[in-house]
Amino acid sequence: MAERSRGWARAVRGLLLDVSGVLYDSGAGGGVPIAGSAEAVRRIKASGLKLQLCTNETQATREDFVRKLRAMGFDISVAQVTAPAPAACRLLRERGLRPHLLVHDGLVPEFAEIDKTNPNCVVLGDAAENFTYANLNEAFRLLIGMEKPVLISLGKGRYYKETDGLKLDVGAYMKALEYACDIQAEVVGKPAKRFFESALAELGVPPEQAIMIGDDIVSDVGGAQQCGMRALQVRTGKYRPSDENHPEVKPDAYVNNLAEAVDIILQEL
């Protein structure tokens, strides 16, 4: 499809890139870069195109996340990362919310300046091994005991890929708490429109001149298209052949990997 229809590649000024499944596969030892992805990022930057990473990463602070990416060979700065935790902190401050955190230990420092006494909401992230029965039940009890329960989820992904296979993502646990408490979570992160709008503002490019590249057919592709962007799905990461028959979301193109997408885009510049 990428070869047959390239109209999507024209008049581009900036790229939003998903990270896990596009730049690298997470896993033991921090994960491994996907072949050609570090060079693709270098080519984007050398071309003059604007670049922003738009990630639902919630297992580390942005600083630690960028250190890991740089160690893999990616020339990325903290300012080039749009992530859910800083967006959630802004929301908490705006609304005077005090969170109970059910998140990964590595993400806790992002909330250091937030008042967490006497919680009046629950913030849920990709807590990985912290998703124990006891921890989920504690979050449930807090929510069910609130007159107006507020559950804020740092994404709604169903699963993601690590080097040893697919892993349950935060969305599965979000749905469990929604069901148990008969509430609807507020999602901060992809595919929320407000999150993509923040990423575009940081990119400094209007949606019609930006392309989102991701491996998640719903969160990456569907979310970006709802904001007026073009969106590509890579056949790396969590991509599965069944994605190409999705009943609602149709990418502007499929590409085998980030390197192929960049090849085509740069040919159109």
Q: What pLDDT, in 10s, does the model give residues 46-65?
A: 999 999 999 999 999 999 99
Percent of the chain predicted with pLDDT > 90: 93
Residue 21 lies inside a defined structural domain of this protein: yes
Domain extent for 240: 14-56+190-244+256-267
Tokens linked to 130: 């912290």
Residue 85 resides in a domain: no
- By the 10 Å C-beta count (0-12 exposed, 13-18 middle, 19+ buried), 183 is classed as middle
Do residues 131 and 177 touch, judged by C-beta distance below 8 A? Answer: no
Q: How far apart are CA 219 and CA 239, in angstroms?
A: 12
Q: Output DSSP code: residue 95.
A: H
Return all residues near 108 (Cβ < 8 A) that are at least 6 apart.
101
Please tell me the predicted confidence (pLDDT) of residue 269.
86
Residue with tokens 């029965």: 133
Q: What is the pLDDT of residues 227-246, one digit of tens each?
A: 999 999 999 999 999 999 99
The reply to whether 163 and 121 lie within a common domain is yes
Please indicate, yes or no, whether residues 197 and 178 belong to a single structural domain of this protein. no
Weakly modelled stretches of the chain, pLDDT under 70: 1-5
Q: What's the pLDDT at 79?
A: 96
What CATH number is given to the structural domain containing 131? 3.40.50.1000
Please indicate, yes or no, whether residues 197 and 182 belong to a single structural domain of this protein. Answer: no
Domain end residue (candidates: 142, 164, 187):
187
User: How far is the C-alpha of 16 from the C-alpha of 184, rounded, in Å?
Assistant: 28
What span, in angstroms and rounded, lies between the C-alpha atoms of 27 and 163?
A: 5
The structure tokens listed for 186 are 């507020």
Host H or E run for residue 62: helix 62-71
DSSP letter, residue 184: -
pLDDT on residue 5: 58
